[in-house]
Amino acid sequence: MEDNYVKLAKKSVQKAVTGKDPGGIQELKESLPDESRGAFVTLKKLNGDLRGCIGTYTPVTESVGKEIIRNASSAALEDPRFSPVKPEELGGLTISVDILSQPEACDREDLNPDKYGIIVEKGARSGLLLPDLEGIDSVEEQLEVTKNKAGIPPRDENFVIKRFEVERHEGETPIDN
């Protein structure tokens, strides 16, 4: 059974893509904890290919519900790697929501790519990678991909690492269109 995190994200994507309010968004938002948390919303095609992913590790709204609404809409319409989702695509997409813990500074030895997502920072550059991703099987792979996302050269070892955990909420069925 899909939980209210996923239901809220699905309805938010439907509204963003179709321009029609599917109803229930306010009730779902109010059913979630009234706390400010970072959240990522990921859209995937039924074959597992990524279709959009937008998130915030530092919350920009006052509640997790508002964070999900904002990031679900952005994942569907504003991920710079993809064209905006079209209404006819909705039935071929699934959605997941990751709620993030507060990032904490750590050392390489404290990492585990199955358990922790990471943020690497050097000056104004930063990159983030969620945990438990297919194809990321070691700390070194996790660091390499995240440094690349941040634009930090592969041999540069002068950067800050932060780790976080996620509470993952996965959709079981496609988004309604």
The 10s digit of each residue's pLDDT in 132-142 is 998 999 999 99
Q: Does CATH number 3.40.50.300 belong to domain 104-164?
A: no
The token duo for 125 is 């550059």
4-100+166-170, which class in CATH? alpha beta
For position 13, what pLDDT does the model report?
A: 98
- Distances from the Cα of 162 to the Cαs of 3, 97, 102, 159, 171, in angstroms? 29, 21, 10, 10, 28
Pairing mode of beta strands 50-56, 125-129? unpaired
Under DSSP, the state recorded for 68 is H
pLDDT of residue 1: 75
- The residues spanned by each domain of the chain are 4-100+166-170, 104-164
**Is residue 120 left, alpha or beta, with left meaning phi > 0 and alpha meaning psi from -120 to 50?**
beta
Q: What is the pTM of this model?
A: 0.89
- pLDDT score for 177: 73
Which residue stretches of the chain have pLDDT < 50? Answer: none
pLDDT in tens, 15-24: 999 999 999 9
Contact between 154 and 176 under an 8 Å Cβ cutoff? The reply is no
Alpha-carbon distances of 95 from 12, 52, 63, 139, rounded to whole Å: 11, 9, 20, 26
Instruction: Determine the pLDDT at residue 171.
Output: 92
Closest residue by Cα to residue 103 from 63, 53, 55 = 55
> Measured between alpha carbons, how far is 153 from 105 in angstroms, rounded to an integer?
21
